[in-house]
Structure formats: structure tokens, C-alpha cells
């Protein structure tokens, strides 16, 4: 029965990927009461010391976030910013939930026998997985958990936070080059007046955008 169910799921998933694919993100956003962000407002990116240590990686993430910020009407201007944007992204991988516990559970070889020794982190850029082909759920493949965040602050005065948002996604697809930009877009849905509480944001990707 396990094999039959896995085969049925794989067939359905492959047929779905031939046309489109939906990235579903759990999003939670906060806007500071009494503040407004005018359309066309300018911003620049602000980096933490740890982010300054890897310029290439951070520039790539900023390009992803900039595309999402542009869609909500903000404009990057490093010389005359009205706001500063601090962004972050995290990608981790764990054993697939499709894994057979008899093969991949705790044992004499340790948890994750078969190639994945528990929960571990990947580099965002330069790692072997980044930009690689996406795959369907298989017992021996990892399950990816992703999170992006953005904090918008006033550039002058007390550096007050005016907007904070976070998006989470998990699944078997390894192509973070396609997923992370969509997650930044999902995180900014409803800007600058987001609905209260956590919400699910679904954004469809076409085969062309997944390459």
C-alpha cells in the first residue's frame, strides 16, 4: 500500500509540474500604528555585520527582495533613502517525511541513514543545491524549510520600525533560486496595511519561471 500510494502521489505531482506550481507561504506581518509609507518612497538596504562578511550572497538576496519591493511601489535609492530595509533568508534541510522509518529512522548508523544525518544548514549561494533541478518527493531526498524576513525602518530620526514581515515555506523542491524571490513577494502581500494574524499566501509559478 505504501508503494502504491507513493507511486500515485508521484504521478499526480509530475503531471502538475508540467503546467504550473504553487508556492504556498505562511506569512505574518506587522505595521506600526499611526505610520504611513507613501507610494514611491525610497529605501536602501542595511546589512548586519554577519551579512557584510559575504557580499555576493547578500547582493543576491537583496536583488530578490528588491524585485518584491518594487512591486509594492518602493524605489531603491542608496543616496537619498527615506527608509532602510533589513532582509534575511534561511534554508535548512531535514529527512523527507516520505522516508520509510525502517530504512531512515534511528539505528546503528544514526538517524538519517541513507545520506542525511539529521537537520543541517545549506549555504544560500555557492552550495551544490542552489539553482539545481527541482525534484519530486522521494524517501531518500531532503525536505527543505525556508524562511525570509524583512524589516523596514525610517532612515532618519530614531530609526523607528514601520513594517515587519516574515514568510515560511517547506517542501521537497531544491530550487531556492525560484522559491526565495516568490517568498519575498508573499511576505509583502498587503503592504503597507497587512491583515492581522498569520495567513497563507499562494503564488503560482509557471515552468519558465522555475528554470
Q: Own/partner pairs for 130-136, CB < 8 Å, 24+ apart?
A: 130/176, 130/177, 131/175, 131/176, 131/177, 132/174, 132/175, 133/174, 133/175, 134/17, 134/173, 134/174, 134/175, 134/178, 134/210, 135/172, 135/173, 135/174, 136/10, 136/13, 136/14, 136/17, 136/172
Cα–Cα distance measured from residue 43 to residue 6, given in angstroms and rounded to the nearest whole number: 48
pLDDT, tens only, 123-177: 333 223 333 344 444 555 789 999 999 999 999 878 899 999 999 999 988 889 9
Q: Looking at residue 174, what is its pLDDT?
A: 86
Mean pLDDT of 87-113: 63
Q: What angle separates helix 176-187 from helix 55-71, to the nearest 10 degrees?
A: 50
Neighbour-count burial for 71-93, b at 16+ CB within 10 Å, e otherwise: ebebeeeeeebbbbbbbbbebeb
Over the stretch 168-178, which tens digit does the pLDDT of each residue have?
A: 999 988 889 99
User: What mean pLDDT is predicted for residues 63-78?
Assistant: 98
DSSP reduced 3-state for 46: coil
pLDDT for 116 equals 29
Question: Residue 94: pLDDT above 70?
Answer: yes
Amino acid at each position: 500500500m505504501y508503494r502504491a500510494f507513493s507511486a500515485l502521489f508521484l504521478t499526480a505531482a509530475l503531471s502538475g509540474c508540467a503546467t504550473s506550481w504553487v508556492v504556498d507561504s505562511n506569512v505574518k506581518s506587522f505595521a506600526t500604528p499611526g505610520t504611513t509609507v507613501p507610494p514611491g518612497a525610497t529605501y536602501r538596504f542595511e546589512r548586519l555585520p554577519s551579512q557584510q562578511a559575504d557580499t555576493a550572497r547578500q547582493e543576491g538576496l537583496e536583488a530578490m527582495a528588491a524585485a518584491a519591493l518594487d512591486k509594492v511601489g518602493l524605489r531603491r535609492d542608496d543616496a537619498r533613502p527615506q527608509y532602510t530595509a533589513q532582509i534575511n533568508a534561511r534554508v535548512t534541510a531535514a529527512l523527507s517525511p516520505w522516508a520509510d522509518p525502517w530504512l531512515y529512522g534511528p539505528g546503528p548508523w544514526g538517524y538519517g541513514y541513507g545520506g542525511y544525518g539529521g537537520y543541517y544548514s545549506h549555504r544560500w549561494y555557492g552550495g551544490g543545491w542552489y539553482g539545481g533541478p527541482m525534484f519530486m518527493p522521494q524517501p531518500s531526498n531532503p525536505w527543505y524549510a525556508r524562511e525570509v524576513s524583512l524589516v523596514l525602518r525610517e532612515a532618519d530620526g530614531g530609526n523607528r520600525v514601520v513594517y515587519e514581515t516574515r514568510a515560511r515555506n517547506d517542501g521537497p523542491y531544491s530550487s531556492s533560486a525560484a522559491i526565495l524571490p516568490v517568498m519575498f513577494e508573499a511576505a509583502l502581500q498587503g503592504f503597507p496595511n497587512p491583515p492581522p494574524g498569520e495567513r497563507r499566501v499562494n503564488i503560482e509559478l509557471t515552468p519558465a519561471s522555475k528554470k
